[in-house]
Structure 1
Amino acid sequence: MTRSVTAVYPAMRDDIGDLVTRRPLPNRELEQISPFLFLNHHGPQVYPPNNRGLPFGPHPHRGFETVTFILEGSLSHLDTGGHESVIHAGGVQWMTAGSGLVHAELSPDVFKRRGGPLEILQLWVNLPADKKFSPPNYTGLQTTEIPKFALSDGVNVELTSGEMAGHTGPIENLTGLMMSVVRAEAGKTFELPAPQGRSVFFYMVTGNASVAGKDVPEHHLAKFDDKDGHITCEAQTDCVILFGHGAPIDEPMVAHGPFVMNTVDEIRDAIVDYQAGKFGNF
């Protein structure tokens, strides 16, 4: 059975200084596609030599996970859980904020010195109440560590987590999330798995496609019904799609800046704990 597209949302432009930024979720009409909370699409753009790099210095998080896809450029990661890495183009950073930590996402010195192309997708994924205080964790994968396979002729998948077409992604996450990057050549028709009871995340990073008979242009997010089966796509141009699915979380949600909890009191606790240094310091 084919899922239907119920709505298509454009990403809103919301630059951060000189960093080109688009945000398809949340938007004016849609707060979340639970468990998916937030996506920032930075770039694509080319940084000149001797640039200042990315502006994401030390900041706290609690109650959710961040999944960062480095499509172009490089991104360094440092957090108070003792994790540190520099991930390059094609790689992924998966961080479980859980009970709370402070991290920084900055451009490596070599990128600031030399400049170059940059494009990054950062997705926030909610955690259920019984996992919000999980120990913080981080995994950084280079492109060579991510399985790549042909879903069909001219359609290739980079599988970060979960299962697709008999392949398994390397990251085992707390909620059984499936996340991938799909690259399709113009004119190719293909099907993406979408089991019933799972919320689908489908963002057109580059290109245009007909999805279940509806046009999904570049920089647009598609929302689907909950039929069991698959999503039928026809690439009208070469496409790059951020695609995943996860179990929705049927719980109250209160988000405040870098904290995502279930109650206002838990948000207050997060602020107090952070200010008291309980998330750690660099």
Structure 2
Amino acid sequence: MSNSSIYTIQPIEFRLDLKDPFLFTAHHIDHFPAGNTQLGPTVPSTPEKPYQMYYGDVVPGFPEHPHTGFETITLVESGFVDHFDSLGNSGRYAQGDVQWLSTGNGVEHCEMFPLVHQDKENPFELFQIWFNSSPEEKKQDADYKMMWREQIPHVLQTDSNGHQADIRVVSGSFLNTDALSRPPHSWAAAKENRVNIYMIRLEPHAELTIPATTATSTRFAYFYNGPLLYIDGQEIPFKHLVELKPDTEIHLKNSDQVASIMWLEGEPIGAPVAMRGPFVLNSTEELNVAFARYRQTHFGPWPWPTPAPVFPREQERFASYQKGVDVEYPERM
């Protein structure tokens, strides 16, 4: 490729295949209809307005399933998610919120997508980043943290022509603005690992420069909303993933409509990766041991009445930790 700051450009349908310390990112977009009394869809999926039930029977989503050895970082752009796990944690989160789950040495959870609106459609968009853990972090207990949209820092930058960029800092820092803390046993928690996750919104014709990071870092930009973006003068079409040179400034220039970009960068862990389904460890032997342990223990008892519970329609956003000992409501913080 002629542009020295761009390594690759790839079209994306659903899955973004990434590099250490990231594993991949799933980009879910569903056109859910109005919800019924059970928080499920009232009409079937159509080619014009498609949606998936995933593994849910009544409510779309992912009923009880296990993970170990990595982290899920779930960013909701629209819609609602109900979370339950085998640690006794639970919560409801929605547009603009981020859930960070360190699966550590094993946890079961479910993620259901309740259709809370009965009088209108329930559009849904969600990113889930699978982010690796170091060998030591894989041995730690699982942990869960909510980052509410009201608390996630934003940096507003105005270019020389008065056009604005909004950088939502999910991890790391942008210029002098630091993100909220990550779970303590996360590769992203240590500042020296430079794990920067930004959700960038560019007004029409806005320009933005992203500072350089280290030469050893991984760096990707995913352009997921808008007709056309320019990265260092190179045209980037809608829904394309760009791998970028890390140790140089990168210049973004938008076209004539609002653009949205997910920005991912960080120092690699550098350990072997052995991945089988929902488990990510460092060797086949470790995977075999983990699956045997899961078959024996299920990573602890499932404390919820069904594999796919959901909260009542009227439930506001909240997070419950330590089996309900600590409960927080973002609108009351």
Distance 1:109 1:190, change over 3 A: closer
Select 1:55's aligned residue among 50, 61, 82: 61
Distance 1:194 1:211, change over 3 A: same
User: Secondary structure of the equivalent of 2:136?
Assistant: helix
**2-structure distance, mates of 1:111, 1:271:** 39
1:202 aligns with 2:221: yes
Corresponding residue for residue 158 of structure 1: 168
Q: Any residues of structure 2 matched to 1:22-33 within 5 Å, and which? A: 22-25=14-17, 32-33=18-19
User: Secondary structure of the equivalent of 1:90?
Assistant: coil
What amino acid is the match of 2:66?
A: P
Distance 1:74 1:194, change over 3 A: farther
CA contact (8 A) 2:35 2:115 kept: no
**265-274 vs 214-223, which deviates more?**
214-223
Select 1:34's aligned residue among 6, 10, 20: 20
Corresponding residue for residue 230 of structure 1: 249
- How many Å apart are 1:216 and its aligned residue? 2.0
CA contact (8 A) 2:221 2:262 kept: yes
Corresponding residue for residue 106 of structure 2: 100
- How many Å apart are 1:44 and its aligned residue? 4.8
Greater share of residues in strand? 1
What amino acid is the match of 1:130?
A: E
Distance 1:195 1:157, change over 3 A: same
Give the aligned CA root-mean-square deviation in angstroms: 2.0
Q: Runs in 1 of length 4+ with deviation above 4 angstroms?
A: 111-115
1:64 aligns with 2:70: yes
Residue deviations 1:194-222, cap 9 Å, x none? 30122113111212311122222221111
Provide TM-score, normalisation by structure 1: 0.87
Distance 1:114 1:56, change over 3 A: farther
Corresponding residue for residue 7 of structure 1: 8
Distance 1:63 1:113, change over 3 A: farther
Select 1:279's aligned residue among 299, 304, 308: 299
1:189 aligns with 2:201: no
Select 1:211's aligned residue among 211, 223, 231: 231
State percent identity of aligned pairs.
27
**2-structure distance, mates of 1:91, 1:3:** 35
CA contact (8 A) 1:62 1:259 kept: yes
**2-structure distance, mates of 1:88, 1:261:** 30
**1-structure distance, mates of 2:208, 2:230:** 11
**2-structure distance, mates of 1:191, 1:156:** 12
Corresponding residue for residue 17 of structure 1: none
Residue deviations 1:113-171, cap 9 Å, x none? 96511100111011121211122111112211211220334100111121112111113
The higher radius of gyration belongs to: 2
What amino acid is the match of 1:185?
A: E
Distance 1:107 1:114, change over 3 A: farther
1:175 aligns with 2:176: no
Distance 1:156 1:84, change over 3 A: same
**1-structure distance, mates of 2:235, 2:287:** 39
What amino acid is the match of 1:265?
A: E
Corresponding residue for residue 268 of structure 2: 248
Distance 1:183 1:44, change over 3 A: farther
CA contact (8 A) 2:223 2:240 kept: yes
Residue deviations 1:25-60, cap 9 Å, x none? 2xxxxxx31111111111152433221432311111
**2-structure distance, mates of 1:151, 1:45:** 32
Select 2:132's aligned residue among 126, 131, 140: 126
**2-structure distance, mates of 1:80, 1:194:** 40
Distance 1:59 1:240, change over 3 A: same
Residue deviations 1:93-117, cap 9 Å, x none? 1100011100100023635896511
Structure 2 unaligned residues grouped into runs of 5+: 42-57, 189-194, 303-333
- How many Å apart are 1:61 and its aligned residue? 0.6
